[in-house]
């Protein structure tokens, strides 16, 4: 595969193709239709705690 990073037209074409492929994927496999995965309460609590810390640190930077 050729390096097209310096060619703006080729990069645009690559981006357009990637967006079209992603749209086709989500049209075929709608994430809203997937069943919710089960997980242990400790896993959920662990990530809720991490997310609270992350969101709190992010809001104080502004």
What's the pLDDT score for residue 9? Answer: 93
Digit-coded pLDDT (tens) for 2-55: 788 888 999 999 999 999 999 999 999 888 888 888 889 999 999 999 999 999
Which of 2, 22, 26 is closest to 11 using CA atoms? Answer: 2
d(CA 47, CA 17): 35
Rama region for 7: left / alpha / beta (φ>0; ψ in -120 to 50; rest): beta
Output the pTM of the full model. 0.48
What is the distance, to the nearest Å, from the Cα of residue 22 to the centroid of all Cα atoms in its chain? 11
**DSSP three-state, residue 30:** coil
- Could you tell me the pLDDT band of residue 61, with boundaries at 50, 70 and 90? low
In whole angstroms, how far apart are CA 31 and each of 9, 16, 52, 53? 32, 22, 25, 27
């Amino acid at each position: 595969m050729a390096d097209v990073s310096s060619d703006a037209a080729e990069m645009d074409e690559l981006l357009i193709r990637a967006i079209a492929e992603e749209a086709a994927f989500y049209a075929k496999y709608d994430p809203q239709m997937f069943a919710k995965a089960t997980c242990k309460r400790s896993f959920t609590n662990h990530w809720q705690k991490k997310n609270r810390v992350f969101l709190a640190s992010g809001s104080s930077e502004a």
